[in-house]
Structure 1
Amino acid sequence: MDEEIWEDRSEGFGERLLGLLLDRARHLPPQLIAPLIAEEVARIGGRDVSILLQDYAQELLVPLPGRKLHVSQPEPVSNSPAGRAFLRGEVVEVAQAHGGLRMYLPLLDGSDTVGVMALSVDTVGEDDRRLLTRLSCLVADLLVTKNAYTDQFFQARRREPMSVSAEIQWSLLPPLSMSVPQFDVAGILEPAYRVAGDSFDYALNDNILHAAVIDAMGHGLDAATMATVAVGAYRHARRVFVGLAEKYAFMNDAISRQFGPDHFVTAQLMHINITTGEMELVNAGHPAPLLIRDGRVVRQLESATTLPVGFGGQEPRIKEHALRPGDRVLCYTDGIIEEHLAGSDLFGEERLVDCVNRLGQEPSQGVRADLRLLSHVLKSERGGRTSDDATLFMIEWRGGAADHLAVLD
């Protein structure tokens, strides 16, 4: 019987294996999920299983500790097989000197990559690849689900102490990336372990992508508290109202009532029709987004002047823009351009645009990978310093029908 199971890689075997994993995982505490995954991989002939999770700075893939897991050194996101699998969302196979393969499978929760599953096999066929790919997707779902019940995964991802304000901000964030046929979005926060007042949020409702980038004044817990109220008010308004003007008014009322007249939040609020590329923008005291076309910044996406959230009262004026397929919209907070360099010069928007254009000459690796690289290059160009929150958020619009069922045809 055992030999038949080892040789059988049919759809029926795969269904039984994945079903068994689901049935057992429902009742297990979080710390036993990893050993269960290792057991299931062994049934397909895999060994030395590692679950690698991205650290908060998006520099390393760190191994999740656990019984029956292979725990090695962290692997860099840049220039490693695990990193390629993570950034591209594709399976990477590396031949081993002693024979066999080391496989790196992206852990995709929807379209967001939460980590990588690495394992070794002597041989692998197409049925094995199909089954392991499906297994990795199920593993990602299990990790995301169990993540809400334990601190184990948070602790594995930390590479240095985290401030209370950063704890709050990371708990507010949506998934760092989303990809559907019509568009990609991705965001990144710096400094990862000390961020306080910056945040972003998005949601796809029918054929409208709702997105917001905010920067609460101040530092530390005061800024984190204000950002929490701003994001909470934005989400509530998004789920009740339709227009950007109502969202702005609701956020403005929440900030002014809670914190008084001397506190404010700058914000960008956007609607993008994912079928037509029509974009509506309210810019409330924030640096204007950059429009990137064919790898180069072509202009700022200007909008009529609107007071920061908390200082408002008048209805904001909404600016409309038309995106072309392949266009990217880059939003950023003032911590990117207001960092002081040696000699007290500000980094400035001109240097930001120059970095975007230089990187745009290289082949794109996808929005998430490109944004991560841009963030790290900008930090290096600023002398490795991030004295204020510095957030980047990018949208790439590709267009096409919004009927998601068409993807299944």
Structure 2
Amino acid sequence: MAESDRQPGKDSVDRSEGFGERLLGVLLDRAHEMPPQLIAPLIAEEVARVGGRDISILLQDYAQLLLVPLPGRRLAVGEPEPIGDSQAGTAFLNATSIEVPQADGVRMYLPLLDGSDQVGVLALTLETVDDHDRRLLRRLAGLIADILVTKHSYTDQFFLTRRRAPMSVAAEIQWSLLPPLAMSVPQVAVAGILEPAYSVAGDSFDYALNDDILHVAVVDAMGHGLNAATMATVAIGAYRHSRRAGIDLSEIYAFMDQAIAEQFGPEHFVTAQMMRLNIATGRMQWVNAGHPAPLLIRNHQVLRQLESPTTLPVGFGGEKPQVSEQRLQRGDRVLCFTDGLIEEHKAGEEQFGEEQLVHWVNRIEHTEKGVRAVVRSLSHRLKEERGGSTSDDATLFLIEWRGGAADHLTVLD
């Protein structure tokens, strides 16, 4: 090769395969064709190469109460770990590694992050841990999470692990419809939760981050069971279709309204709230079609309800809705919820009400970190306060606007 043909700097770069690259590369190369049931033994082999033992993959159950061991050859399968009261749960909720010294080494819990959604936790024991171990295992956990999410789309194995109770057909439909329960980038974070997890029917939510615009919808279809799930499915499908057409919020409402009316007739409806948040500026716009007003949270305290003109629920042929607007400050959170959360009551007694909701939001905002931990804790606490059960679907969806930029993530150190 002539000297002039050499690429500047290329020959000075060591491109040989090191231990870490080989470890991650083998998993990546083989995962493309690996049947789902062989993922567990391959992961166990990979972690063993680092010196790990007693390896477990813990997946979150649908009720967001437990981290459940995934069964598989060479994996340790013990009792589920409570998310709210365990080292594994702390690693999961805070998306951070936890190390617990033990007599025979160090027990490590590493969050399995697919993007920013917590899939579960990788647990293992090492004799000793140094920074090289931490770096390699953190990257290995990230790759494992991506593989689990990819394989999940064509196997029931992970679903069956996460399911801890019989699930209704309506709930099966809703869970298959949902986006990841949480998403986080430097400028914004979101998290949602549905109740009751194993029999939810008419409630659903959807979101998408397109360039600088976060799109959000929360819907609540009338009724219960399969009919409600079917209506919610059509509503979310119509929302996604119209959102992707690039039309404004009032036109999205009109499209969803027409879809529900044509499919189900004039006596069926879906309450809905559609939002757009510019994650660069904090400008939030929304249309309210029969939903309770969201709560604006600032400095971990409910500042006020975001009252706005409402239009008729989707399917009732309401007039063109007015688009409301709010300029958020950095750190502000917006909590959307469906009426099942506040209208629950025992026969002859008062409804749970928004006052109690605000009370618990203020308490939990000061005790939990991160939107996912807040939403999970708030949902479970509210269910306890409502008597431990709900006669209607109840949904929470929390948005946190952080501002700033993410361009630094494209720069290699």
Shorter-normalised TM range: over 0.9
Q: Is the 8 A contact 2:56 2:70 kept in 1?
A: yes
1:278 aligns with 2:273: no
1:391 aligns with 2:378: no
The RMSD of aligned alpha carbons is: 1.4
Q: Residues 116 and 11 of structure 1: is their aligned pair in 2 closer, same or farther, counting only changes over 3 Å?
A: farther
Q: Deviations over 1:248-277 (max 9, x none)?
A: 111111101000100000000000000111
**Aligned partner letter, 2:316:** F
Q: Which of the numbers 297, 301, 312 marks the counterpart of 2:302?
A: 297
Q: Is the 8 A contact 1:109 1:137 kept in 2?
A: yes
Q: Deviations over 1:209-253 (max 9, x none)?
A: 000100000000000000000000101111112311121111111
Q: Which of the numbers 166, 169, 192 marks the counterpart of 1:187?
A: 192
Q: Is the 8 A contact 1:186 1:371 kept in 2?
A: yes
Q: Deviations over 1:295-338 (max 9, x none)?
A: 11111111212111111242211011111111110000001001
**Aligned partner letter, 1:182:** Q
1:136 aligns with 2:136: no
Stretch of structure 1 that moved more, 382-391 or 351-360: 351-360
1:365 aligns with 2:369: yes
Distance of 2:386 and 2:142 partners within structure 1: 38
Indicate the residue corresponding to 1:159 in structure 2.
Answer: 164
Indicate the residue corresponding to 1:331 in structure 2.
Answer: 336
Indicate the residue corresponding to 1:6 in structure 2.
Answer: none
Q: Could you state the TM-score of these two structures normalised by the residue count of structure 1?
A: 0.95
Aligned-pair distance for 1:99? Answer: 2.5
Q: Which structure 1 residue ranges, 5 or more long, are not aligned? A: 1-9
Q: Deviations over 1:355-398 (max 9, x none)?
A: 11122333x41110011111111011111121100000000111
**Aligned partner letter, 2:335:** L
**Aligned partner letter, 2:376:** R
Q: Which of the numbers 71, 76, 80 marks the counterpart of 1:70?
A: 76
**Aligned partner letter, 1:67:** R
> 3-state DSSP class of the match of 2:68?
strand
Aligned-pair distance for 1:18? Answer: 0.7
Indicate the residue corresponding to 1:59 in structure 2.
Answer: 65
**Aligned partner letter, 1:170:** W
Stretch of structure 1 that moved more, 341-350 or 238-247: 341-350
Q: Is the 8 A contact 1:234 1:251 kept in 2?
A: yes
Q: Which of the numbers 85, 88, 91 marks the counterpart of 1:82?
A: 88
Q: Which structure 2 residue ranges, 5 or more long, are not aligned? A: 1-15
Taking the TM superposition and a 5 Å limit, the aligned residue runs for 1:3-402 are: 12-96=18-102, 98-341=103-346, 343-362=348-367, 364-401=368-405
Q: Deviations over 1:8-61 (max 9, x none)?
A: xx9821111111111122121101101110001011110111000000000000
Q: Residues 146 and 365 of structure 1: is their aligned pair in 2 closer, same or farther, counting only changes over 3 Å?
A: same
> 3-state DSSP class of the match of 1:272?
strand
Aligned-pair distance for 1:342? Answer: 6.9
> 3-state DSSP class of the match of 2:261?
helix
Aligned positions, number = 398
Q: Is the 8 A contact 2:113 2:142 kept in 1?
A: yes
Percent of aligned positions with the same letter in both sequences?
73
**Aligned partner letter, 2:303:** V
**Aligned partner letter, 1:392:** L
Q: Is the 8 A contact 2:311 2:318 kept in 1?
A: no
Distance of 2:411 and 2:177 partners within structure 1: 30
Stretch of structure 1 that moved more, 101-110 or 353-362: 353-362
